[in-house]
Structure 1
Amino acid sequence: MKSEVSAAEQIESTTTLSTCAGLSPRTEPCPGTADDGESAAKYLFKLSHDVILSLDRDGSILCINQRGVQLSGYSESELRGANVFELLLLPEDRQVARAMLADVLGGKAREYEVRWKTKDGGIVHFDGASVPRFSESGEFLSTLCTLRDVTERKCTEERLRKSE
């Protein structure tokens, strides 16, 4: 597991996703663009090669982008509202992931490694980062997560280890 992220303030000041219904994101214009931040965030959410998702305090998926749908093998409707710990995470990763979520609930940004079991039984390895979202009154709203697929790298590392 990777260490705590110290740049939480920098991440917090960036544009948040507005496609997650009911999350009331705060948007700011993207520097150097004529477009407003909300449109840029929607574009990034839709077309990112990384998984972008938002979880509630229990780990239920509030929203997930198309890349997450593609890599998981589940439909968006199957994922939305599902508990990430029960549906996607490998059993041996759940305890560490729950501890990470507890840190995020406490206001800490985190980097971590996690694995998903896909609908067809495959395993996808991710490097992830999660940050908390709080209301103006300080109430926890959700965690925003980005996950980069590093499966190919992990498989290559394992092959190299076995060849030594």
Structure 2
Amino acid sequence: MIDWTTKDAYGVLVEPTTLKIERVLPGPIERVWSYLTDSEMRRKWLASGEMELAVGAPFELVWRNDELTDPPGQRPNGFGEEHRMESRITEVDPPKKLSFEWGTTGGVTFELEPDGNGVLLTITHRRLPSRDMLLKVAAGWHAHLDVLEAVSAGERPAEFWQNWERLKDDYDSKLPA
């Protein structure tokens, strides 16, 4: 496996309700940008959904996590085959920064910058309303980034749901109560 991660793969709390997670991915920066903004590329690691790259533009993300890995692993109780979320772009600066509302509960910012032969992707997720949501979101971003790392390196990712379950337990022990 190509290890592009020169940063700690685990996210950290930078404020009580704000998670920050970083990964170094194979470049160039335009390629990583397409994994954030192009529905078909984003579907391979996170969620599909057409996006007009303009501040104020609404869009919908559609998660089908069972389709991210083969096999996907056993889906945890409480998760359906599909999840949809309405959102709106709040900031866009191609190919360096993209911010949008996270449904009605917070906001997410993706920042890209060159890092040696790779691209540093920083995700900041703000206003997480509860510890339960924080643990799910931290494990979710981490698991989705594991898929992105593998896909962008041309490798087969680990089973999504098994990885998510393990990461949720890890974050429960790593993040303050």
Give the alignment's TM-score, normalised by structure 2: 0.33
Per chain length, whose mean CA-contact separation is higher, i.e. which structure has more relative contact order (CA < 8 Å, sep 6+)? Answer: 2
Q: Which has the higher strand share?
A: 2
